């Protein structure tokens, strides 16, 4: 960890704010020169078996060939959408679009017609690169129907039609490191997404610095099952791995048995998954009585990570969970814990900032820096901040202030070492009887219960109190403590007004494509009366 002793909730950038500008094409060319014959990318089948593979030299050659094809049909700065699950062609298109100066618009393969149409229109995409079907979703049928209604979409190309995909050959334009390169749509845990416009340097440097914290090195084997349409999948897991000369084993879907099979066969040493994924892998390892010896690094983010999950990961996967915190608008990682952090920091904090990033905790009303250990909004500044929201200057101005600080909307506290604890969301605040309650504080306390593996706390409208606290939970096993026992547990840790009024067990969560719990859908289900509302009076 960084050895420091700050006096207010402001952690100045280690190494300063300046970084060397770099493009996505630069990092692939440099790695191909240095690691040419090392395998860069290996495709995994849904069963976890190896399929197609590329060395670094081969990945560069195919990416440049596809880039020249893109340049023959798209002007520099054009927006093109990729609508597909994890597949090697997605990776090739990511590098090729960057080399051709084209902005890649990433689209969740679970989207339906209305959602797809919104993204294509909002991003001003002139092309869609897609597959015909994925997990029962008739994507080809939907794409053709939607594009028939959008005259702006002049190219529709199937990713597995290589004759069409690689057709054309034109010179590549000059590409600058601060050029926009991707539009990533935010996950939408609280509503419909906005398109974050990201640039080359932000994505490349952030991915590299993030994997520096995990000690990934040339020859490391990364099991990649994170969705490619999200920054974690296409930036951290692809650009980060390529910058380190590692080998990517790319899974098309998340299937715990197949993931474990690939880890065991290939002796993979790095695994990244959101908590729901890691829980599923651990449960399968425990159920099957499997011993995993190769994993050296496990990283997670995108949702609250329970202390018990950190410990279980070390027991069953061979390494504790290293937490990464960030958001799409920050390319995406802002802070991480360190591999050798004490268990208290691994389980109770989101670590320290990455290099070259200013991080502060600021008063949401005045924008002043908070005193140490005082709650405020987590903000960051530096190379990682997005250019802005696509065609949405009002939202951009609300997110990035005049001094360049990105306001995350997350609440937290910073200690004298620069370690940060998440305490809530500005917009998820529950107002009960005039008191402000923050779900993350209640969630953190509930996650200390050994029988509870995942928690989501929301507010439900109430005539008397304004809002009541509702606690959704997923049990760690078949044991499901009664509400009275849960109430007693939480009252030992938090004041009475923070105690949930209702307790609801779920077997499955409504999730975004990147694995985050969609709290707004939980609230909608409550309003529709879909859950058994159990009190502990």
Domain of residue 455, CATH code = 3.30.300.30
Question: Does residue 274 sit in the same domain as residue 187?
Answer: yes
For residue 425, the cross-strand partners are 410
Instruction: Label residue 466 by pLDDT band (50, 70, 90).
Output: confident
User: Which burial class, exposed, middle or buried, applies to 161 when counting CB atoms under 10 A from its CB (0-12, 13-18, 19+)?
Assistant: middle
Q: Do the Cβ atoms of 352 and 418 come closer than 8 Å?
A: yes
Mean pLDDT of 395-403: 96
Residue 536 lies in a domain: no
Rounded Cα distance, 261 and 298, in Å? 17
Residue 87 lies in a domain: yes
* Torsions phi, psi for 210 (to 5 deg): -65, -45
* Torsions phi, psi for 18 (to 5 deg): -75, 135
Q: For residue 192, what pLDDT is reported?
A: 57
Mean pLDDT of 153-164: 98
pLDDT above 80 (res 462) = no
Domain boundary among 357, 382, 414: 414
Q: Do the Cβ atoms of 332 and 326 come closer than 8 Å?
A: yes
Q: Which domain holds residue 520?
A: 428-527
524: number of Cβ within 10 Å: 12
Rounded Cα distance, 142 and 133, in Å? 10
Question: Does residue 346 sit in the same domain as residue 271?
Answer: yes
Instruction: Label residue 96 by pLDDT band (50, 70, 90).
Output: very high
Instruction: Label residue 434 by pLDDT band (50, 70, 90).
Output: low
pLDDT above 90 (res 154) = yes
What three-state secondary structure class fits 383? coil
pLDDT digits (tens, 9 = 90+) for 172-195: 999 999 999 999 988 544 445 799
Q: For residue 190, what pLDDT is reported?
A: 46
Question: Does residue 266 sit in the same domain as residue 390?
Answer: yes
Question: Does residue 230 sit in the same domain as residue 327?
Answer: yes
Rounded Cα distance, 212 and 224, in Å? 17
For residue 461, the cross-strand partners are 467
Question: Does residue 191 sit in the same domain as residue 241?
Answer: yes
For residue 517, the cross-strand partners are 511
Domain boundary among 389, 414, 439: 414
CATH classification at residue 153:
3.40.50.12780
Helices (H), 36-136: 56-73, 88-99, 113-123
Rounded Cα distance, 202 and 184, in Å? 13
Residue 9 lies in a domain: no
Exposure b/e, 277-289, CB count within 10 A at least 16 = b? bbbbbbbbbeeee
Give which of 77, 84, 172 is closest to 125, Cα–Cα: 77
Both tokens of 389, joined, read: 């929201």
Question: Does residue 405 sit in the same domain as residue 451?
Answer: no
Rounded Cα distance, 8 and 4, in Å? 12
Rounded Cα distance, 520 and 298, in Å? 29
pLDDT above 90 (res 532) = no
60: CB partners within 8 A, 6+ apart: 28, 29, 32
Rounded Cα distance, 222 and 245, in Å? 11
Residue 450 lies in a domain: yes
Question: Does residue 49 sit in the same domain as residue 165?
Answer: yes
Among 85-94, 164-173, 469-478, 512-521, name the one with the lowest average pLDDT: 512-521
Question: Does residue 134 sit in the same domain as residue 258?
Answer: yes
Residue 473 lies in a domain: yes
pLDDT above 60 (res 386) = yes
Q: Do the Cβ atoms of 60 and 28 come closer than 8 Å?
A: yes
Residue 434 lies in a domain: yes
pLDDT digits (tens, 9 = 90+) for 323-361: 999 999 999 999 999 999 998 899 889 999 999 999 999
Mean pLDDT of 414-434: 84
Q: What share of the chain is helix, strand, coil (3-state, %, to 5)?
A: 30, 25, 40
Exposure b/e, 302-319, CB count within 10 A at least 16 = b? bbbbbbbbbebbbebbbb
Element (H, E) at 446: helix 439-446
Question: Does residue 323 sit in the same domain as residue 447?
Answer: no
Both tokens of 118, joined, read: 């919104």
Which DSSP string do the residues of 490-524 spell out, in sequence order?
HHTTS-GGGS-SEEEE-SS--B-TTS-B-HHHHHH
Which DSSP string do the residues of 15-50 spell out, in sequence order?
T-S------HHHHHHHHHHHHTTSEEEEEE-TTS-E
Residue 475 lies in a domain: yes
Question: Does residue 102 sit in the same domain as residue 143?
Answer: yes
Question: Does residue 409 sit in the same domain as residue 433?
Answer: no
pLDDT digits (tens, 9 = 90+) for 266-306: 999 999 998 888 989 999 999 999 999 999 999 998 666 77
Give which of 200, 262, 193 is closest to 225, Cα–Cα: 262
Q: What is the mean pLDDT of the chain?
A: 93
pLDDT digits (tens, 9 = 90+) for 49-77: 999 999 999 999 999 999 999 999 999 99
Both tokens of 25, joined, read: 């094409």
Pairing of strands 39-44, 50-55: antiparallel
Q: For residue 373, what pLDDT is reported?
A: 97
pLDDT digits (tens, 9 = 90+) for 119-128: 999 999 999 9
Q: For residue 213, what pLDDT is reported?
A: 95
Q: HSE (CB half, 13 Å, CA atoms) of 53?
A: 12
Both tokens of 331, joined, read: 């390319």
Q: For residue 189, what pLDDT is reported?
A: 46
Residue 534 lies in a domain: no
Q: Do the Cβ atoms of 460 and 428 come closer than 8 Å?
A: no
Question: Does residue 265 sit in the same domain as residue 325?
Answer: yes
Number of domains the chain is built from: 2
Pairing of strands 155-158, 195-199: unpaired
Over pLDDT 90: what percentage of the chain?
77
């Amino acid at each position: 960890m960084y050895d420091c002793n700050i006096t207010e909730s402001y952690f100045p950038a280690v190494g300063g704010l300046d970084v060397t500008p770099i493009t996505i094409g630069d990092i692939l060319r440099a790695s191909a020169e240095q690691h040419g014959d090392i395998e860069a990318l290996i495709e995994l089948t849904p069963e976890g078996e190896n399929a197609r593979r590329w060395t670094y030299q081969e990945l560069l050659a195919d990416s440049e060939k596809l880039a020249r094809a893109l340049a023959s049909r798209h002007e520099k700065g054009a927006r093109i959408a990729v609508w597909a699950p994890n597949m090697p062609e997605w990776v090739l298109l990511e590098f090729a679009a960057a080399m051709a100066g084209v902005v890649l618009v990433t689209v969740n393969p679970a989207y339906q017609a209305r959602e797809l149409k919104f993204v294509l229109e909002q991003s001003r995409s002139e092309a869609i690169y897609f597959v015909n079907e994925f997990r029962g979703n008739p994507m080809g049928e939907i794409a053709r129907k939607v594009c028939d209604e959008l005259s702006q979409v002049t190219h529709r190309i199937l990713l597995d039609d290589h004759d069409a995909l690689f057709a054309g050959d034109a010179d590549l334009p000059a590409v600058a490191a601060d050029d926009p390169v991707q539009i990533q749509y935010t996950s939408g845990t609280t509503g419909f997404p906005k398109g974050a416009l990201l640039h080359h340097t932000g994505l490349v440097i952030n991915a590299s610095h993030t994997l520096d914290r995990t000690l990934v090195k040339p020859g490391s084997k990364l099991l990649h099952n994170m969705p490619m349409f999200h920054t974690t999948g296409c930036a951290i897991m692809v650009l980060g791995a390529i910058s380190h000369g590692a080998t990517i084993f790319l899974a098309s879907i998340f299937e715990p048995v197949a993931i474990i099979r690939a880890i065991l066969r290939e002796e993979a040493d790095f695994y990244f998954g959101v908590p729901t994924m890691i829980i599923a892998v651990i449960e399968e390892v425990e159920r099957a009585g499997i011993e995993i010896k190769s994993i050296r690094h496990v990283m997670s983010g995108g949702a609250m990570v329970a202390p018990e999950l950190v410990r279980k990961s070390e027991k069953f996967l061979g390494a504790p969970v290293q937490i990464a915190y960030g958001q799409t608008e920050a390319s995406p990682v802002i802070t991480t814990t360190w591999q050798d952090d004490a268990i208290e920091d691994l389980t109770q904090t989101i670590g320290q900032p990455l290099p070259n990033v200013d991080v502060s905790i600021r008063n949401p009303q005045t924008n002043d820096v908070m005193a140490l250990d005082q709650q405020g909004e987590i903000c960051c500044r530096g190379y990682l901040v997005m250019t802005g929201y696509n065609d949405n200057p009002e939202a951009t101005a609300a997110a990035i202030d005049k001094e360049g600080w990105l306001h995350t909307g997350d609440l937290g506290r910073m200690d004298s070492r620069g370690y940060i604890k998440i305490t809530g969301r500005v917009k998820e605040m529950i107002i009960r009887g005039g008191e402000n309650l923050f779900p993350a504080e209640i969630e953190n306390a509930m996650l200390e219960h050994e029988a509870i593996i995942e928690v989501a706390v929301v507010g439900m409208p109430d005539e008397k109190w304004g809002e009541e606290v509702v606690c959704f939970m997923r049990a760690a096993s078949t044991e499901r403590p009664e509400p009275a026992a849960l109430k007693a547990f939480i009252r030992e840790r938090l004041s009475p007004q923070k105690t949930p009024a209702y307790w609801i067990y779920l077997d499955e969560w409504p999730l975004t494509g990147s694995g985050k719990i969609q709290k707004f859908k939980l609230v909608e289900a409550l309003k529709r009366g879909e859950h058994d509302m159990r009190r502990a009076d």
